[in-house]
Structure 1
């Protein structure tokens, strides 16, 4: 079976690794565009992830049996619509469904229509309107408030402002200075919820769904949850992420109403829905929807998968998920991201990575490449902000983390940084 993975990061490396490890039948793996790490287990194709027409032509010419989309941008651009128009099998939501992630405004209004618990919010079409909403005190007098860019911003479009001055600065950067480009043509302003965060994902074919192990992401670049938001500095899965009561409420009050709301609105969804949750004292609330696996949550989750990932994805794409059982290894897992100097603002690239082979051999870990390339002499070089995801599964979270950090001790490059408090 010929399988194409679309994307170039650590999530796509984890997908390729899981496809190779769990598939019962021989699988020929391709990845567009991929990265140097993925190139060790798949044939990388130099086509950009958002070049929808070229990808569709390639899949048709290569007679690809199944395509799996890793990242959000091609989904927002309608890659699933184009593949289906050509009769190609692909996993992911159509563009109309991808708006749950590509438009924060659409997502919040969808939740309001279907009474899905989320933070109180307002939408602003201009910087002046946004400032008026903040100053009105609707979400508290100089209380923390959240500013969200409407469009896709690679995980960097959310600011949790501690006071109104910080909120107004974020509005100016987004809507006046245009630091996020068109992503911030509109912004969502919402109350800041308190509690613990959790990521809950599930595969769905529009009718049935299969849950993935709950995870927790660590978004901020610095230890103790300090510094700016990033695409994610690490993730864990374990039973402590979400208790049974909150889990059951999330299924009953969020997952099932979300699927019903999509059906009522005539929006077909076949892929992964990601719920970013805040576990408040009143119950779980949705912070955001994503329409694909999280990154780095995917790395931590997929090392626990026991079932055939090709079979799962094919069933999702064909509307036959009810026929598939999904099993997971017991215990816990962790992924710690190693980043380049300057990430997330201006990451430096081209540094020589030392100790990568030794780390892979010396510890019970999987190392997923997010931003690497090979140099002229065959050496590993940094080629992105998030460079590697050191990942391990074990019986307990403490054991999984110990394996990750033991391996990290063997890896080094000029400017490497990471959080030492993942999972803690």
Structure 2
């Protein structure tokens, strides 16, 4: 089968790497891809938001399955456009993709479906939102309604911070039209976990739990990033609670979407917060998380292509979704200065040395191949060095041994990935 993976990050490298292991994959393309995807298949110079370009390429190459990595092409209607051409897509249609594309839509769906989440209000006018914040006080969360590259959520510790966030989003248009509408909600305080499930419109099959590390600095300090590392499983969500949790946060969404005549097919990501009062959903994503995808796919025991086809074709119960017993941990190596400004074009060395360690895979994100067969940095999050181990402690040890073998100028990484999980394990 001919497969097209859309996207250019570490998640997309992991998807290509896992799909390449299927005996049914004959040709694999990534649009636009990176240095890692180039080693698994063929990169094509089409951006992930170029829906007409992606459709034309899929038709020209007679692609059998398109796999959407990031959320943007799904929100823009990639799955719908492919369906009109008779080309299967792993990823929800544009209506269902609004679970991530619109914070207001997502919160309303949670409310209607009975999913536990923080109380919220939706505002289209700055003055009304400001008055509400002054009435409620802080801490309080302000979210731009639309997609804002992961930067549209502010957890305000003071009323002044909340008002500044509202002004930035609604008046100064820091995120363009994404901030025309905002969601203001109560702050959920506790420990986070990521919970993902394959979905075929009616049925679901859960992946193991995982935990992301969003802040740039150790001890969860500094500004939020796209994610500085992740591990699986997350002790805060043990296996014996998977089914109960899925019935709270996955099943209601599938039922709601089906009732709307918009069955959800793809992977559904629930961002959870465990508070003193119980479980609450922070957000839904309509694709694999990055960097959670990397340790999750390292643990996936089976043929990813067969699972994706079963989702698209509405026969998920026919395939087994199993996880390897080992733990997995991924450490993101970033360019110094990320998530603000950072240099590019730095030569990367040591990837092969790192991958010579048992259970280690280096997933490339912000990288580009060079004509002489090398690889250089091209983004802020450059690599996700991922390792399997017999338990979280061994996975962490192996991952950091591998990190120390990889080099590029001005690299930066957190040294505490997985520590919250290890503390819970005692």
- TM-score after normalising by structure 1: 0.95
Report what 2:95 is aligned to: 96
Report what 1:85 is aligned to: 84
Q: 1:288 aligns with which of 273, 278, 283?
A: 283
Deviates more, 1:44-53 or 1:6-15: 44-53
For the residue of structure 1 that corresponds to 2:267, the secondary structure is strand
Q: CA shift at 1:24, angstroms? A: 3.3
Q: CA shift at 1:75, angstroms? A: 0.1
CA distance in 2: counterparts of 1:54 and 1:26, whole angstroms: 23
Q: Report the number of matched residues.
A: 419
CA distance in 2: counterparts of 1:293 and 1:375, whole angstroms: 28
Report what 2:424 is aligned to: none
Report what 2:422 is aligned to: none
Matched, 1:341 2:336: yes
Deviations 1:379-421 (A, max 9, x none): 4211001100000112101111111100111222222111111
Deviations 1:197-247 (A, max 9, x none): 010010111111110111101111111111111111111102513135754
CA distance in 2: counterparts of 1:315 and 1:399, whole angstroms: 34
Unaligned runs of 5+ in 1: none
Report what 2:64 is aligned to: 65
CA distance in 1: counterparts of 2:239 and 2:9, whole angstroms: 32
Change (3 A) 1:61 1:118: same
Task: Tell me if structure 2 keeps the 8 A contact 1:203–1:316.
Answer: yes
Q: 1:191 aligns with which of 178, 186, 194?
A: 186
Within a 5 Å distance, the mapping from 1:174-323 to structure 2 comes to 174-238=169-233, 240-243=235-238, 246-323=241-318
CA distance in 2: counterparts of 1:128 and 1:350, whole angstroms: 45
For the residue of structure 2 that corresponds to 1:67, the secondary structure is strand
For the residue of structure 2 that corresponds to 1:160, the secondary structure is strand
Over aligned residue pairs, what C-alpha RMSD do you find?
Answer: 1.5
Task: Tell me if structure 2 keeps the 8 A contact 1:336–1:422.
Answer: yes
Q: CA shift at 1:127, angstroms? A: 2.5
Q: 1:153 aligns with which of 148, 164, 175?
A: 148
Change (3 A) 1:14 1:241: farther
Task: Tell me if structure 2 keeps the 8 A contact 1:7–1:32.
Answer: yes
Change (3 A) 1:357 1:207: same
Q: CA shift at 1:112, angstroms? A: 1.0
Report what 1:117 is aligned to: 116
Task: Tell me if structure 2 keeps the 8 A contact 1:158–1:229.
Answer: no
Deviations 1:75-116 (A, max 9, x none): 000000000000111111000110000000000011111221
CA distance in 2: counterparts of 1:110 and 1:9, whole angstroms: 29
For the residue of structure 2 that corresponds to 1:113, the secondary structure is helix
CA distance in 2: counterparts of 1:218 and 1:239, whole angstroms: 12
Deviations 1:228-278 (A, max 9, x none): 111111111025131357544422222211111112222221101100001
Deviates more, 1:66-75 or 1:373-382: 373-382
Matched, 1:4 2:9: no
Q: CA shift at 1:326, angstroms? A: 1.3
Matched, 1:398 2:398: no
Q: CA shift at 1:175, angstroms? A: 2.0
Report what 2:382 is aligned to: 387
Deviates more, 1:293-302 or 1:117-126: 117-126
Deviations 1:268-319 (A, max 9, x none): 2110110000112332211000001100000010001111111111111111
Q: CA shift at 1:187, angstroms? A: 1.1
Q: CA shift at 1:26, angstroms? A: 4.5
Task: Tell me if structure 1 keeps the 8 A contact 2:206–2:242.
Answer: no
For the residue of structure 1 that corresponds to 2:342, the secondary structure is coil
CA distance in 1: counterparts of 2:173 and 2:336, whole angstroms: 24
Task: Tell me if structure 2 keeps the 8 A contact 1:249–1:283.
Answer: no
Deviates more, 1:342-351 or 1:107-116: 342-351
CA distance in 1: counterparts of 2:336 and 2:220, whole angstroms: 18
CA distance in 2: counterparts of 1:190 and 1:259, whole angstroms: 24
Change (3 A) 1:162 1:11: same
Deviations 1:24-62 (A, max 9, x none): 334321111111111011111111111111111111111
Change (3 A) 1:120 1:26: closer
Unaligned runs of 5+ in 2: 420-426
Q: 2:167 aligns with which of 161, 167, 172?
A: 172
